A = this chain, B = another copy of it.
């Protein structure tokens, strides 16, 4: 089976946000996958997806603290400044973090580790809604 659908994530403030449930609720057909893969793909170049610790909000704040220091807004060597001081850092962070996740699916659920969750990395000050294309493939539980 193949399924491909765009899931819209509501606007989030700049930072790192746990969105596992928001994404999964957009593809209820996951229930029917016995074994497979789910591919999450964000259709933007100033936001990213990553997998990390799903429990402590301070982990997500520390992500922002580190990335904002590693790729500072308005660094003097950036030439691409037309779209604001947060734009070029957003592009670089997006490539460091990645635009997609491939996740194993088993018995109708994402087969994540106990502490793993999907982060939306909103890298712009005002990113707005973000679209994630979810592609699910695998063996259906209802196959003979």
Contacts and interface: CB of A to CB of B under 8 A. Distances in A.
Contact of A45 (B36, B51, B139): B51
Contacts of A113: 42-45, 131
Contacts of A96: 96-97
29 contacts: A2-B36, A4-B106, A4-B111, A35-B135, A37-B137, A39-B104, A41-B104, A43-B111, A43-B113, A43-B116, A51-B95, A52-B91, A56-B80, A58-B79, A59-B80, A59-B91, A61-B79, A61-B80, A62-B91, A62-B92, A63-B95, A65-B79, A66-B77, A70-B70, A96-B97, A99-B101, A100-B103, A102-B102, A104-B133
Interface of A: 2, 4, 35-37, 39, 41-45, 50-53, 56, 58-59, 61-63, 65-66, 69-71, 75, 77-80, 88, 91-92, 94-104, 106, 111-116, 119, 131, 133, 135, 137-139
